[in-house]
Chain A
Amino acid sequence: MKVRVKFFAILRERVGAGEITKEIENGSTVAELWKALQQDYPKLNVPGIRLLYAVNQDYVSLDHALKEQDEIVFIPPVSGGS
């Protein structure tokens, strides 16, 4: 199945793209997708980074099972405010 992955901030810069489509096995979890992406884009391995995970604009945990056409974002440390 295909899912859409968006990258922001430091991860966008490291991947060199804001959005990609990725083919993964049916029922893959967020964790499995992250592992696969790290192989495609070794620069995604930012030492010590702590990520949050969002699917279709809601926070989820790493074991969340993905569906066709889901929009996944790996959220690097947020720093809104001033």
Chain B
Amino acid sequence: MFRVTHKAIDLQELVDHVTDPEAGAIATFIGTTRNNNEGRKVIGLDYEAYPEMAEKELARIGEEACKKWPLCKMAIVHRLGPVQITEASVIIAVSSAHRDAAFAACRFAIEEIKKTVPIWKKELYEGGEVWIGTQTGQPLPGR
């Protein structure tokens, strides 16, 4: 399950998706919208994506993670459109036989999302709005 959605993300749906009889661990990461950034009082965030490519890139992160760790299943869902403070903008769930791989793959996925998935965040703060991002990423090897 690798997708973008305009609806609120359902954590349980991701957990159910990665649930596996061979898994001894499920790790999840929830990225939430916080009320401040670089000294600005943030009112909300607005996410935009190149949806077809974003889903393709999320799936590629999943494939890459499965090459690095012995995983059972992975799911990533990223929210689009306006996201209120405290709401989840992204949720990752990973299952594996053992916890080390699940934690590591979860961490890898969120770091990669920030580098190469075509999703953009506009920060709405008191007194203005700004597109966030500094392009730290290079596409994953082999592309």
- Which residues on A are within 8 Å of B, measured CB to CB? 6, 8-10, 12, 49-52, 54, 57-59, 73, 75-82
Contact = CB atoms under 8 A, between A and B. Distances in A.
Contact of B118 (A10, A12, A50, A75): A75
B97 to A, nearest CB: 27
Main secondary structure of the interface of A (DSSP, over half): loop
Nearest to B89: A82
B105 to A, nearest CB: 15
Interface string B22-39: 000000000111100000
In this complex, the interface size class of chain B, counting residues with CB under 8 Å from chain A, is 35 or more
B93 interface: no
B47 A52 contact: no
Nearest to A54: B53
Given A8-B120, A80-B114, A82-B89, A50 B53 contact: no
Contacts of A49: 135
Contacts of B137: 52, 78
Interface of B: 31-34, 47-50, 52-54, 56, 78, 88-90, 110, 113-122, 131-135, 137, 139, 143
A80 B121 contact: yes
Contact of A9 (B31, B120, B134): B120
B131 A80 contact: no
A79 B139 contact: no
8 contacts: A8-B48, A8-B120, A57-B50, A59-B143, A79-B133, A80-B49, A80-B117, A82-B34
Contact of B131 (A51, A75, A79): A79
